[in-house]
Amino acid sequence: MRRPIIAGNWKMHLTLSEALALAAEVRNRCGRFRQADVVVAPVGLHVHPVAARLEGSTIAVAAQNCHAAAKGAFTGELSPAQIRDAGAAYVIIGHSERRQFFGETDEGVGKKGRAAIDHGLVPILCIGETLAEREAGRMLEVVTRQLDAALAPLTPEEVADVVIAYEPVWAIGTGRTATPAQAQEVHAAIRRRVAEKTSPAIAERVRIQYGGSVKPDNIATLMAEPDIDGALVGGASLEANSFVQIVTGALGAESN
């Protein structure tokens, strides 16, 4: 059985005091769960203090992006080594907002994933199609292209330990969510492609999150699908009650 993973992407939100308060509440209310991985992703400036606040708990921290280089003259960037040193265990790579607004490329995602693993981070590799691509019938073509580029620099054994996040761009922050059947179709295709590129055994180990307007009232039906192993949560992760309800809903547990 694949271990569920629920990650909250806080994007460019929250002051430091707000981030620390939210992290503390997530720790207090979700720290009892041992059957899933719960992750929060604050802005880079807050990774270290949030990780310090969560130290000793079961809640892990992710950065929202990294550079592919270990160090260098790259003003404004964060290296995987620095992110790891700050206390993060994961890093989100290739989010559609990075691709759309900051020129992130398929090849660049692959390089960043390689660098993350080299420095002890687990990459959360994001892939997903736009509405135009879906309506043109190119959904699987786009997702496969992005997936292949993200996994190309990795060995099969390394692929087994990454997290893949399928985030249809048309569902991110729009209130529109892929139906469980729509999400499952793509997740199953992703797993088949991983099997083709590595092996069926490795594909069975890879965790694939769904992201795109995940909320407390749809998480249970999404998680009921056989190839959906968790969620990458955006807006609903900024408020403790909704994020905790998503975590508990994913696990079929009671919130407190």
- The b/e string for 199-222 (b: 16+ C-beta within 10 A; e otherwise) is eeebbeebbbbbbbbbbbebbeeb
- The residue length of the chain stands at 256
Predicted confidence at residue 208, as pLDDT, reads: 98
Domain presence at residue 77: yes
Number of structural domains in the chain: 1
Task: Kindly state the DSSP code that residue 132 receives in the 8-state scheme.
Answer: H
| Partners of residue 126 on adjacent β-strands | 165
Per the annotation, the verdict on 185 as an active-site residue is: no
The overall average pLDDT reported for the chain is: 95
Domain presence at residue 256: no
pLDDT tens-digit profile of 90-130? 999 999 999 999 999 999 999 999 999 999 999 999 999 99
Q: Report CA Rg, the chain.
A: 17
* Annotated catalytic residue, options 95, 104, 187, 225: 95
pTM above 0.75, yes or no: yes
Per the annotation, the verdict on 167 as an active-site residue is: yes
Q: Check which CATH number belongs to the domain holding 97 and give it.
A: 3.20.20.70
- Tell me the pLDDT band of 57, cut-offs 50, 70 and 90: very high
Predicted confidence at residue 256, as pLDDT, reads: 65
Count other Cβ atoms within 10 Å, centred on residue 76. Answer: 6
Domain presence at residue 230: yes
* Annotated catalytic residue, options 97, 104, 129, 167: 167
| Helix, strand, coil content of the chain in percent (nearest 5) | 45, 15, 40
- Coil, helix or strand for 218? coil
- Coil, helix or strand for 118? helix
39/64 Cα distance (integer angstroms): 12
Domain presence at residue 21: yes
The range of the structural domain enclosing residue 22 comes to: 5-251
Domain presence at residue 115: yes
Which residues neighbour 141 within 8 Å (Cβ) at sequence distance 6 or greater? none
Domain presence at residue 215: yes
Q: What is the H or E stretch that residue 214 is in?
A: none
Q: Work out the average pLDDT over 146-164.
A: 98
